[in-house]
Chains A and B, each alone.
Chain A
């Protein structure tokens, strides 16, 4: 009886998932193996061959560039985010609440708007450079480079790193830490042997939640990278929006999806090991 009720409750989501997740995914996979849908459907591997063309590896380079930028962005998020989450978790509950709201606050603003405002901050004649010029310091030109994209990624995705780690950290049983201290561990040892291992689940979900949007972004690379540093997301967008080559766009989407699935498989196996999955608020 109970089982039937829960499956009934899951029905709305199952229908939603079928229509909005499974069906589009299936369509993308089908499109990626088809050539020019206007003139009748022909099965082909052409799009994949075009992507993995080793004699002219432009698209592979773009994939490599996307992964490279996403890895650097994720690493910086982790380096900034872990200590931040740790400090946050050590605060009094009241202050902790206020500060964690402050971290989420920028996310209430539109993502596009926030990225646009970085443009006017970073431009040659922008706010930061006008200030540097006023106090006679050399200009700081990172606009339209890979570093501008990394900065945009870190800024936009940092909360996705902090929050899962923070959630895991505040759930650690204080008595475990006390036990370690009673047994003579100093604070370094407590952190290295107890806190860090217990928080790895949060780190794993933080990594997948920042890496995934960073590797597929096209808005950040378009606005801050200036089309000079096209990422895989830009290419996919262009195939659908401008070129109208849906087959090739779909093939690239499938490739990036497989990549993300592999990455997720890796991190989720970590989470299972630790049996302490961290989630967003």
Chain B
């Protein structure tokens, strides 16, 4: 009798367990690993995703594309599902066969992305990436201490701003803008172009206050420096908080970039990752993110809902003439190492 009773008890427990598994979201105990840029998502968005789907999100951040690439290729790839690389890194990751093809049946919100930002050269059919944000690289300057609007990258070499210039500690951006200033393409890797860029950057070094990262935003808001190289979204962010600041894309042209969401091939949660990407493209979420981080959105409904002032603000939505002057970074392939060495030497000198 006792035996039967205990068996019944076991059966009942199992049944409740099984039932609770059914009624509850089937996603419980599932975890999605997201690896994104620092300061690149609105607060509370990942919590909201967990609330709606029951999927737990583990969220890590990086400061540069290169940091992320190094980490995922050095064995960290198995630890992440969704990453947010820029154009040239997407190209590289596709070439190295590290990205998973996205199943758009699970990402219906892709239809909300403007066609202008789809099928770009780095991922021709958007097989591997969904647009998240885009922007440009330019100069933020303090209008009270710079009399005329700078029209050239040359202002970064102007002796009168010695000790007041902030540069990005980022290999592609710093070398790229120097190449552009010297009249080369931002993707040039010829010996002549790189030797010229190196000499120019060394010449600039005594004028630079600091080679910084994200802390540059606080420094510009506080008025620590007069001129800084910045991404357009960061520029919009600091201009909102310090009205003396302004943003300009020099006449020589600059870099235009696209940060997309990708799924790593090694991901064990591809379906969850697609669910997350779809969530990030949803109008309310994409709008929350845009309002918080101030970068340019590729999402149609979010863009249409912006006020006219923002839409005509060339910091966030450059007009066609500026667009035409800008270049997208290409993957440098084997020359990546040459760029890296050059930049290390600049910092070491």
A: residues with CB less than 8 A from B are 56, 58-59, 61-62, 123-125, 144, 226-228, 230, 234-235, 238-246
Contact = CB atoms under 8 A, between A and B. Distances in A.
Contact of B348 (A62, A240, A246): A62
Contacts of B349: 58, 61
Contacts of B337: 243, 245
Contacts of A228: 205, 208-211
Interface of B: 64, 66-67, 69-71, 73-74, 169, 171, 205, 208-212, 219, 222-224, 337, 340, 344-345, 347-349
8 contacts: A124-B223, A124-B224, A230-B347, A238-B344, A238-B347, A240-B70, A242-B171, A245-B340
A251 B80 CA distance: 30
A226 B210 contact: yes
A58 B212 contact: no
Given A227-B347, A234-B347, A242-B340, 6 more contacts: A58-B345, A144-B209, A228-B208, A240-B70, A241-B67, A242-B66
* Interface of A, helix, strand, loop or mixed by DSSP: helix
Contacts of B71: 241
* Interface of B, helix, strand, loop or mixed by DSSP: helix
Contacts, number: 64
A178 to B, nearest CB: 56
Closest 6 pairs (CB-CB, A-B): A226-B210, A227-B211, A244-B70, A243-B340, A242-B66, A58-B348
A10 B340 CA distance: 45
A243 B66 contact: yes
Contacts of B64: 242
Contact of B223 (A125, A235, A242, A245): A125
**Residue among A56, A144, A239, A244 with max Cβ neighbours from chain B (10 Å):** A244
A61 to B, nearest CB: 7
A56 B344 CA distance: 13
A242 B71 CA distance: 8
A230 B211 CA distance: 10
Nearest to A232: B348
**Residue among A62, A124, A242 with max Cβ neighbours from chain B (10 Å):** A242
A243 B169 CA distance: 12
A244 B76 CA distance: 13
B210 A144 contact: yes
Given A61-B349, A230-B347, A230-B348, A242 B210 contact: no
